[in-house]
Chain A
Amino acid sequence: MDLLIKNGFVYDPINGINGERMDIAIRNNKIVESVIEKNSKIIDATGLTVFPGGVDIHTHIAGSEVNTGRLVRPEDHEKDFVRKTSVTRSGVGYSIPSTFTTGYRYSLMGYTTVMNPSMAALEAKHTHEELNDIPMLDKATYPLLGDWWLVLETIQKGDLEECARYVAWMLEITKGYAIKIVNPGGLESWGFGRNVHSIDDQIPNFGITPRDIMCGLAKVNKMLNLPHTIHLHTNNLGVPGNYETTLDTMKCLESIPSNGKPVVHITHLQFSSFAGEDWGSFRSGAAEIAGYINNHDHVSCDMGQIIFTDTTTMTADGPFEYTLYQLSGHKWVNSDVETETSGGIIPFHYKRKNPVNAIQWSIGLELALLIKNPWKVFMTTDHPNAGPFTAYPKILAWLASKKARMATFKRLHKKAQKKSILPSIDRELSLYDIAIVTRAGQAKALNLKEKGHLGVGADADVAIFDLNPEKVDIANKFRTFRRAFTNTAYTIKGGKILAKDGEILQQAEGKTIWLDMQTKKEIEISEEIKKKFREYWTVEYENYPVSEHYIKNSSPIKIKADV
């Protein structure tokens, strides 16, 4: 049956719609011009806010790292469990929810598309098996390619075309969506327990620098016409004073031709905007970073906002997790993956009364508020690194209401309060801005044409919130706003009503979006490479690719590459 959402306040920034009272018509799984009212199911959205379905550009929800995180934290699950119902599976939370629970919780907040940002190509089958078990959401995943030996070798040779062909091949066989780069060069160095400390450090055994990798892959990204930019986790992440490295990183990519569009997405920027010489003199570098981004158009970023809670950090940045282990002495997982990447996990409790954590909290918000253009900075927590995704409504309240952030600010460590410039920032995001930083901007950065908006032809992914923007001033009534965004009134995905008033009505499978790379020359894997394959990995060439068997609902996007 057709669906008609009547008379809601619609926020659709991609189509420039700012809170107009409109009807949204849905036929099958698409948004259409109109439907016949008497043949449709009507949702009366009078006095409600209508958003496109949420899009999350960076959230660790599946794969070997996430799952090892689940395995090492039974104490995280015990405090947060979910019963089986007649429509939903049971599961556990809190910071690393089990797969089904992840899907339900995202759906309850109005999200319909999420991106899993970190996948070791060797373990790609695992990631996809888990993604299959995450219902309610469309998903995509980024393979980690920044420290892959074949990338390092081809960049060292200076043969970017060959590099591009390898990357295209890798994206296709791992069913990936974008090039993920984590601490370029650092992960290869970590193979022998070392790290790189600037973008011009030599990478042992390869004779190139992180700068070469980032510039090389950004160019490769262009050559392949990939929908997203390179997705970058910077060098020196989590180290005091690293904002200079981040500035260097952004500067080194200035020369990549961009046509006014971003060429790099720097993810969880909060962790890369630290100033100061050590933890004692730790302070925010957000103003410098934001200043740069305001003056340049080749960078987009997401926040990686800290939440004061007990969470689990997990990243491919093995050396960074080792640093965290040294700081906390907590249980430490390291997992290096041959020829490709590394990884680490540490449980972490961010505390208000810890000056460093408190300043980190401030940095995330400073970035989001000081970067003037909301199409450049998106709301994430780098789930679960800086906090679980279930805390998004809190962050939205901090962004939309100075009152909300000052309420938290007052409870921070005194030293952090003194150092922070947050009280001087008066900017408050409007609902229109919120729609950009939680869906429209992210969909645009990912170039997902059918997501993040409500124009005709878009996927029928809609989130309806119980909030009357005419009656409620979100800056003032931030608690009402937060509550409304915690559970949607309706979550509609693919034209189906999945959740209503905080309850899951039905379980639906999402699609897995991946890039079907069309290179000019057929990517040929020569016998020599196959031989090399056997030397580089401990699995056979035939057993490496992710076959369609591993993807329940496959949704390939054809990409014509220039190589």
Chain B
Amino acid sequence: MSKINSVTCPVCGCLCDDIELTIADGIVAQVKNGCAMCEAKFFSHSNEHRLKTPLIRKDGKLVPTTYTVAVRKSAEILAKANYPILYGWSSTDSEAQRVGVELAEEVGGVLDNTAVVCHGPSILSVQEVGIPTCTLGQIRHRADLLIYWGCNPWSAHPRHLERYTAFTDGRFENSEWMSYLNKVKAAAGRKKIKSLERKGILKHRREREIPTVSDNKPTEILDKKGRKLIVVDVRKSMTAEIADYFLQVKPGKDYELIQGIRALVRDQELDVEEVAGVPVEYLQQLVDAMISCDFGVIFFGMGLTQSPSKFRNIDVAISLIRDLNMRTKFAIMPMRGHFNVTGANTVFTWQSGYPYAVDFSLGYPRYNPGETTVVDVLLRQESDAGLVIASDPVSNFPRKAVEHLVKNPLIVIDPHMNATSLVGDIIIPSSIVGVEKEGTAYRMDHVPLPLKKVVDPPKGVLSDEEILNRILKEVRKIKSNRLEAA
């Protein structure tokens, strides 16, 4: 039995690097400090259903094969293809991503990562208006106003609040965990009373109203000293439950609401009663809190990027931050999902100049989201082969796009069987990055962190990087043979 400290968790964009693992008999026996997702990931490597040899489709059935055959067949598919797509990349290390760019360039394919169905719109807006942001530690030390907009870290980034924002002690700001504790207790109490009332043990007490934060009315809490946590969302999420103030926005009205706030920040009069269903008077109170803070930050998620008006939402949110910086210090940050989607954008950018949707078919990098994005290529039925790595597009792409993806030869590289591997033609299992393979990942704020190898991969299973390197080598061999033959 051995203990490993300071392990980086390869699950979400938080990249918590304080995980302590206990290894016994070559498997992870105990996970300390991690959230539920973290535990699940570290335990998953010893899952008995894990695929240990490559599979290849013969007569419609997937049958076991060797790495040599799988790599050669994959290389043949890619070398033969006219316009292949190489998609995924967000759950592997940047070492593999580097090889991925080289492979895409070699085969003249379209290289894209999961940002395309996630924070792609955020990137488009950043390219339009820039982004005033910072690293997460800066928020821990300085931020006294935290706004989560269209995201629910409590469920999706469970340790975000405790490690980086409201419930952490910084140099200039203190943790608000006491107030959080009180709120959780109050919520539990309310629940209990309700349950007792339902059972008829307690008489229904209508008269005593317990204040909740859901009615959009800013409480005096916005004037309190110390950190303030505000949540803006279409529904009252778990994060909203513990917030100091929850502002419920009508679905699809984010853009309107932010523009309203911008107007108030710029001291413009609004001659309407309410904006996006929120009374202007309430908004004014919110804006006062924003302007009077020392350091504010907005975190945003899919609620903003993938709701109607998409990248225009982010555009206007960033513009709000630009405006706010004339009055005080403000930052904004996307809540990136996959642990290394930021890394995929980063690596693609330094090698090709573009963060996603890079088309190498003309021999140089070309970028035109809407045209060179993988979903659009698939919807136009243009690709003639696919390589999917470290993601599962079949379960989240539009049906039409999936249909085209499946129609052509499809190579899948993933540690686990997923919906995409079930319909693939060559399935190559890989070791789990950050558990069975060391590497590098980029946190949501672009801070690179080393991933550790804590256990050995199943016997014979190769890493993403190694598999890609072998495919690349094989592709080059096929191409030079072809040249010689010609």
- Chain B residues with CB under 8 A of A205: 172
Bitwise, B98-138 to A at CB < 8 A (1) or not (0) is 10001001000000000000000001001111111111111
Name the segment of A223-231, A329-337, A464-472 touching the other chain.
A329-337
- Compute how far the CA of A289 lies from the CA of B354 in the bound complex, rounded to whole angstroms: 41
- Chain B residues with CB under 8 A of A335: 133-135, 446
Complex contact A543–B132 (CB within 8 A)? no
Bitwise, A532-563 to B at CB < 8 A (1) or not (0) is 00011111111100010110000000000000
Name the segment of A80-88, A210-218, A364-372, A447-455 touching the other chain.
A80-88
Residue from A92, A333, A536 in contact with B137 in the complex, judged by beta carbons closer than 8 Å? A536
Closest chain A residue to B480, Cβ basis? A86
The B342-361 residues at the A interface (CB cut-off 8 A) are 345-347, 349-355, 360
Complex contact B329–A192 (CB within 8 A)? yes
- Chain A residues with CB under 8 A of B140: 338, 538
- Chain A residues with CB under 8 A of B366: 81
- B6 → chain A, closest Cβ, in Å? 4
Complex contact B363–A83 (CB within 8 A)? yes
Name the segment of B210-218, B221-229, B447-455 touching the other chain.
B447-455
- Compute how far the CA of A70 lies from the CA of B322 in the bound complex, rounded to whole angstroms: 21
Tell me how many residues of A have a C-beta within 8 Å of chain B: 62
Complex contact B135–A77 (CB within 8 A)? no
The A123-150 residues at the B interface (CB cut-off 8 A) are 123, 125-126, 129-130, 133, 149
Main secondary structure of the interface of B (DSSP, over half): mixed
- Assuming the contacts A74-B354, A91-B352, A334-B331, asked whether A547 and B137 have C-beta atoms less than 8 A apart, the reply is no
- Chain A residues with CB under 8 A of B17: 539-540, 543
The reply to whether the CB of B169 lies closer than 8 angstroms to some CB of chain A is yes
Complex contact B163–A126 (CB within 8 A)? no
Complex contact A542–B5 (CB within 8 A)? yes
- A339 → chain B, closest Cβ, in Å? 7
Complex contact A338–B450 (CB within 8 A)? no
The A329-384 residues at the B interface (CB cut-off 8 A) are 330-339, 342, 345-346
Complex contact B163–A538 (CB within 8 A)? yes
Residue from B6, B362, B442 in contact with A541 in the complex, judged by beta carbons closer than 8 Å? B6
Complex contact A192–B448 (CB within 8 A)? no
The B317-354 residues at the A interface (CB cut-off 8 A) are 322, 325, 328-329, 331, 345-347, 349-354
The reply to whether the CB of B94 lies closer than 8 angstroms to some CB of chain A is yes
- Compute how far the CA of A89 lies from the CA of B101 in the bound complex, rounded to whole angstroms: 10
- Chain B residues with CB under 8 A of A276: none
- Compute how far the CA of A191 lies from the CA of B329 in the bound complex, rounded to whole angstroms: 8
The reply to whether the CB of A196 lies closer than 8 angstroms to some CB of chain B is no
Can you show 30 pairs from A to B with CB atoms below 8 A apart? A70-B350, A71-B127, A71-B349, A71-B355, A72-B126, A74-B353, A81-B365, A81-B366, A89-B351, A92-B353, A122-B137, A122-B447, A125-B449, A126-B448, A130-B350, A191-B138, A191-B329, A192-B329, A205-B172, A325-B322, A332-B129, A332-B132, A336-B138, A337-B135, A337-B137, A346-B130, A535-B169, A539-B17, A540-B17, A550-B440
Given A74-B127, A91-B351, 19 other A-B residues pairs in contact with their CB atoms under 8 A: A64-B346, A67-B349, A71-B355, A73-B127, A74-B354, A77-B354, A81-B366, A89-B105, A90-B363, A123-B448, A126-B446, A330-B130, A335-B134, A336-B133, A336-B135, A538-B140, A539-B17, A540-B18, A542-B5
Q: Ordered nearest first, which 3 A-B pairs have the shortest CB separation?
A: A338-B137, A193-B329, A331-B130
